[in-house]
Structure 1
């Protein structure tokens, strides 16, 4: 369901463990990296006979990988030229080994002085392929002006050539995925053993291009001692959705309660309910003010209703809670927030609900169990206004903020949050035990400081109501009995796959949020063996 997504520091620890603890030779790891890079390049561009290949080799391990690749390109019939920015003495012993070997077999290697590197590139014959082995994932701080100018010159060459980056595009931060301040724009990045966090973040895609993960022989035992604090979601999450039994009853398929849909906002709650139904919930009940009940039922008869408050009351008020609490034990999962409203009365209702919810089950009913609850949309607005309410939420709750809501909860600027979403998610985890789903391109699901990243960025999800559908999908997964962290990851990835599939019919967007919901079972049909 997940693949490791190490930071550069975690990857370096795995490399070192393979060499120090298990005796694997660093020269062998470089040899394997160069060999796998050649495999990936041939797979991407086809036969390399006669291809002019310019390889940029820096002073780190990436430079050693480039020396190996140059030798293998020569054997494949290509015409490699290696420009290295460090003298031989500036390389590690293992990189020097491969540098000398490449030279002995006939590869052309030239020293490239940094102070005039960009000008030198402009005088070279146009290459067919540019290989970036300049700077690895361990980049700390901004690039020097010389390296920045060199990378910009490489990008100009890349406008008319295929660009392959070894492990990570030079200049890209391996943790944040941001250029420092410029980075190579690759068509293909071959990364070794595991994708690096920075490469997998969607905003890095213009620099990373296609990301191809290749094994270089690091033993599993070498990675066991250091578990990464980031994981990458995969399509295997859909395996959590078991093939239904032929005699399945709707009552066994999960019953979801949606609390929302106040005056003028019934659509949000209905989209949430639709998402839950399309995700397989057997029953969905909408708890809404009595004054909007007829409107809600007329628009979507698929939902059952639990009217709250006085006759004609169109907004949530604290008195709605008394009617709601006795019914909560009927449901396998609860969503609160879509269309709840941001007025003072709905805020008082949310505060009363958050305070009474866990107490109702643990004290009044004598039960330790309470249905897992998804806090979405307007519920998050009110929680941000009253930070003390967060302490009232049970640990099995799931919060689904978009970046604006997350910024309000953390009391930080939107730009600051978006510049380093993983750090923002971890900051939340430091003081809150609940599951967090920080929405956006590359949604992050976090709990206890460990991040799970959805690698899909789908612009077709950028439409009002998309988040309401996601909250319903999440609740349907919870109502099936899937534990909250897994349910959140499953819902996020499934929802993202819908966005990707909708690109086929709506390549320039224009799809409706209802169409996201209707795509849920279609994605499942295509992605599973059902």
Structure 2
């Protein structure tokens, strides 16, 4: 299932290849592209900071610095006082050298020194672009740290991406600029949308500079786009009934863990599942039925009970409140033996991590939904190693365990046949129970007929968008129940007018 509205994301190397093809094949001169980039960045800066009195531009020795020199010339031509700080001379004969030469004809450049930005109110970060592959050092590291220290005092524009941020992993290469606005070019960089990327980039603006995105360069990932929801979740037929809307079975809720399975139940119903059955401890049935009367709660004390519960279901979601005791293990083993698609979360993931070979017993598709801690257990590494390269981590989980993998966190990743990144969501969603809600949502979409990978992508996007709606009342104190109450407006998208 390919959705044309999802946008391509590229690695640093792929972006450079797009740039090379534009110069050699269209052809667009390299310096012309540099000038286009500077015009786009300057326009975006003026839109947000009209009539600036002065700007400080910090330029590295490469093409990113060249963009800065062109922007400085444009700003000065518009009557703005410009101070340009150099971190090294461009190589002779390069576009950056040409940009410096054109700037030098109208303005002066000073060598960067510590403290020179002390009184800055608008700073343009043109130090490093996508070519950086190691931690900044020397004067460059000092400049990056000084710009970081200006957060809240000065408005920081990053050209292409914040200096020091990896365009591939979304993690700082040692230290990185924290920008208020990042204007990127040629191709959207994967690292701007996951890990620390969203936090360090601030507002993101993309300009393709007239370079086509379909020049034979396969993107590293796709960026999920809210506008695709009308295609993913079309309006139901007038003849729809509860059976055609899908039958979900949720397994979990060991003694003392009713909340997790209840969150998953409510979210599955609000995401549109026609019928939801909960296989949980018999002692919980009365409480759960009173809390969510629209669901069917079936006392499930053994693997045999569980097998009987899933006979007619379309999908099984297992894990919320499952526990890792004898009861949870029995249900998990029964789920592994079933021929039903699975959505696997929480303690089911921990049981899988304890017995990785159990994935070999699965013939039916599954969706794994780990947070970084669970992913670390699945891969036998540390959480820090997962977060250091989230893209590599989600791909490795998918490689080892198969199926579709959702790596939750800032810029949630979905890895199946392709890699997709969700740009939505907010820090208010960092609270217990949010993952249980996501499990129910994804299961509901599998039940409604979406294949596992599109169901995971759609579920992640719907979950994040509902969280953003709920966060309008404030991020701190946001609860999963707040998110669940916002699901209906997200899962009933209005098709765009032609």
The more displaced of 189-198 and 286-295 is: 286-295
User: Does 2:195 align with 1:198?
Assistant: no
Asked if the contact 1:237–1:490 (Cα under 8 Å) also holds between the matched residues in 2, the reply is: no
Alignment of 1:68-87 (within 5 A): 68-87=70-89
The separation in 2 between residues aligned to 1:119 and 1:465, in whole angstroms, is 47
Asked if the contact 2:194–2:412 (Cα under 8 Å) also holds between the matched residues in 1, the reply is: no
1:58 Cα offset (Å): 1.4
Asked if the contact 1:139–1:171 (Cα under 8 Å) also holds between the matched residues in 2, the reply is: yes
Q: Which residue of 1 aligns with 2:419?
A: 451
Aligned mate of 2:263, from 258, 271, 295: 271
Q: 1:22 to 1:465 in 2, by over 3 A?
A: same
The more displaced of 231-240 and 94-103 is: 94-103
1:291 Cα offset (Å): 4.7
1:195 Cα offset (Å): 2.8
Could you tell me which runs of 5 or more consecutive residues in structure 1 were left unpaired when the two chains were aligned.
309-314, 359-370
The separation in 1 between residues aligned to 2:150 and 2:313, in whole angstroms, is 60
Number of equivalent positions = 492
Q: Which residue of 2 aligns with 1:411?
A: 380
Q: 1:265 to 1:99 in 2, by over 3 A?
A: same
Q: Which residue of 2 aligns with 1:339?
A: 321
The separation in 1 between residues aligned to 2:493 and 2:307, in whole angstroms, is 44
User: Does 2:258 align with 1:259?
Assistant: no
Aligned mate of 2:308, from 309, 320, 323: 323
The separation in 2 between residues aligned to 1:101 and 1:464, in whole angstroms, is 56
Asked if the contact 1:59–1:91 (Cα under 8 Å) also holds between the matched residues in 2, the reply is: no
Asked if the contact 2:124–2:159 (Cα under 8 Å) also holds between the matched residues in 1, the reply is: yes
Per-residue CA deviation, residues 424-472 of structure 1 (Å, 9 max, x unaligned), is: 1111122232000111222111124x42111234222222222111111
1:143 Cα offset (Å): 1.3
The separation in 2 between residues aligned to 1:485 and 1:226, in whole angstroms, is 23
Aligned mate of 1:169, from 141, 153, 162: 162
Q: 1:187 to 1:459 in 2, by over 3 A?
A: closer
Q: 1:52 to 1:290 in 2, by over 3 A?
A: closer
Q: Which residue of 2 aligns with 1:30?
A: 34
User: Does 2:64 align with 1:52?
Assistant: no
The separation in 2 between residues aligned to 1:431 and 1:529, in whole angstroms, is 40
Asked if the contact 1:6–1:229 (Cα under 8 Å) also holds between the matched residues in 2, the reply is: yes
RMSD between aligned alpha carbons? 2.4
The separation in 2 between residues aligned to 1:332 and 1:120, in whole angstroms, is 63
Alignment of 1:369-408 (within 5 A): 371-394=340-363, 396-408=365-377
Q: Which residue of 2 aligns with 1:497?
A: 465
Q: Which residue of 2 aligns with 1:109?
A: 108
1:111 Cα offset (Å): 4.7
1:321 Cα offset (Å): 4.4
The more displaced of 455-464 and 474-483 is: 455-464
Larger Rg: 1
1:486 Cα offset (Å): 1.1
Q: 1:18 to 1:446 in 2, by over 3 A?
A: same
Q: Which residue of 2 aligns with 1:10?
A: 14
Alignment of 1:273-312 (within 5 A): 273-308=265-300
Asked if the contact 1:86–1:111 (Cα under 8 Å) also holds between the matched residues in 2, the reply is: no
Aligned mate of 2:404, from 419, 435, 454: 435
Q: Secondary structure, in 3 states, of the residue corresponding to 2:206?
A: strand
1:524 Cα offset (Å): 4.3
User: Does 2:104 align with 1:99?
Assistant: no
Q: Which residue of 2 aligns with 1:462?
A: 430
1:75 Cα offset (Å): 2.6
The more displaced of 423-432 and 162-171 is: 423-432
Aligned mate of 2:393, from 401, 419, 424: 424
The separation in 2 between residues aligned to 1:173 and 1:212, in whole angstroms, is 17
Q: Secondary structure, in 3 states, of the residue corresponding to 2:234?
A: coil
Q: Which residue of 1 aligns with 2:130?
A: 137
The more displaced of 233-242 and 517-526 is: 517-526
The separation in 2 between residues aligned to 1:269 and 1:120, in whole angstroms, is 55
Asked if the contact 2:427–2:475 (Cα under 8 Å) also holds between the matched residues in 1, the reply is: no
Asked if the contact 1:461–1:499 (Cα under 8 Å) also holds between the matched residues in 2, the reply is: yes
Q: Which residue of 2 aligns with 1:523?
A: 490
Asked if the contact 1:60–1:92 (Cα under 8 Å) also holds between the matched residues in 2, the reply is: no
The separation in 2 between residues aligned to 1:266 and 1:71, in whole angstroms, is 63
Q: 1:451 to 1:395 in 2, by over 3 A?
A: farther
Q: 1:153 to 1:91 in 2, by over 3 A?
A: farther
1:165 Cα offset (Å): 0.9
The more displaced of 396-405 and 286-295 is: 286-295
Task: Give the structure with the larger helix fraction.
Answer: 1
Q: Secondary structure, in 3 states, of the residue corresponding to 1:417?
A: helix
Per-residue CA deviation, residues 313-337 of structure 1 (Å, 9 max, x unaligned), is: xx4x33334534xx53x22222122
Aligned mate of 1:187, from 177, 180, 187: 180
TM-score between the two structures when normalised by the length of structure 2: 0.92
Q: Secondary structure, in 3 states, of the residue corresponding to 2:175?
A: coil
Aligned mate of 1:230, from 217, 221, 228: 221
Q: Secondary structure, in 3 states, of the residue corresponding to 2:419?
A: strand
Could you tell me which runs of 5 or more consecutive residues in structure 2 were left unpaired when the two chains were aligned.
none
